[in-house]
Amino acid sequence: MKRRDFLTAASGVAGGTAAGAATAGAQETTTSAGDTTTASGNETMTTTANGTAEGTQSGGGAAGGGPTQEVTVGPGGDLVFEPAELTIAPGTTVRWVWDSDNHNVVRSSQPEGADWDGTEGGDSETYNTGHEYSHTFTVEGTYEYYCTPHRSAGMVGSITVQEGGGGGGGGGAAAEQDPEHMGVPIQAHFVGIATILMIIVSLVYTFFVVKYGESPHTEGGN
């Protein structure tokens, strides 16, 4: 490649990278129904085909740069929160995502000094599939909540905020990580298999050499 061609190609790559970085802050997606979704920073706004704008509801704690945990509301129509129990570290944002209709998230108890109110609109306001609500928890302690229409059916949940928490439901143990997602090449898992195959091939080769590979000079009248 000539020097002039190399410089031209390098300039094109740099220009493409800069353009991609400029558009990363605000991305626009158009669905088959004509709806347009624009994401900018921590705010998500959906504009439907008829021009109606729908924003993702956010709780009292502003979402920062901390981790995020997701709770499914009414997964598959079941009257539960999934997971029902969650242990997180302070500064974690919990996002509730509605997977069925007529549910809400109403606070029943929280630690002293906390400012979580649950979904807006009071106990009577419910939301349907696709709705999202999030809140960032900073005060340590246990938070309990429920769904008003289905509380008697056992649709309740709890969140424990403590240092070192943040693995998922229950005791807060860290979830098992996929080695590929941790940066370990998946090919590394085949090293053991390759070693076993090499041993088998070596044994088979040795067997045939010992059985059929005798030199004709070893046999004679002596």
Please name the residues in contact with 91: beta carbons below 8 A apart, sequence gap of 6 or more.
64, 66, 67, 136, 137, 138
State the catalytic residue, choosing from 1, 103, 135, 182. Answer: 103
What is the distance between the alpha carbons of residues 71 and 35, in angstroms, rounded to a whole number? 25
Question: Cα–Cα distance between 170 and 113 in angstroms, integer?
Answer: 24
Among 45, 131, 150, 217, which one carries the catalytic annotation?
150
Q: Considering just the CA atoms, what is the radius of gyration of the chain in Å? A: 30
Q: What is the dihedral of CA 82, 95, 115, 40, to 10 degrees?
A: 180
H or E element at residue 44: strand 43-47
Q: List the catalytic residue out of 45, 131, 147, 182.
A: 147
Q: Is 135 a catalytic residue?
A: no
Does residue 131 carry a catalytic annotation?
no
| Angstrom distance (rounded) from CA 143 to CA 92 | 13
Contact 71, 147 (CB under 8 A): no
Active-site hit among 45, 131, 155, 217: 155
User: Within a 10 A sphere around the Cβ of 167, how many other Cβ atoms?
Assistant: 17
- Maximum CA extent, the chain: 106
- The token pair that represents 190 in the structure block: 């085949």
150: annotated active-site residue? yes
- Is residue 45 among the annotated active site residues? no
* Catalytic sites, residue numbers: 103, 147, 150, 155
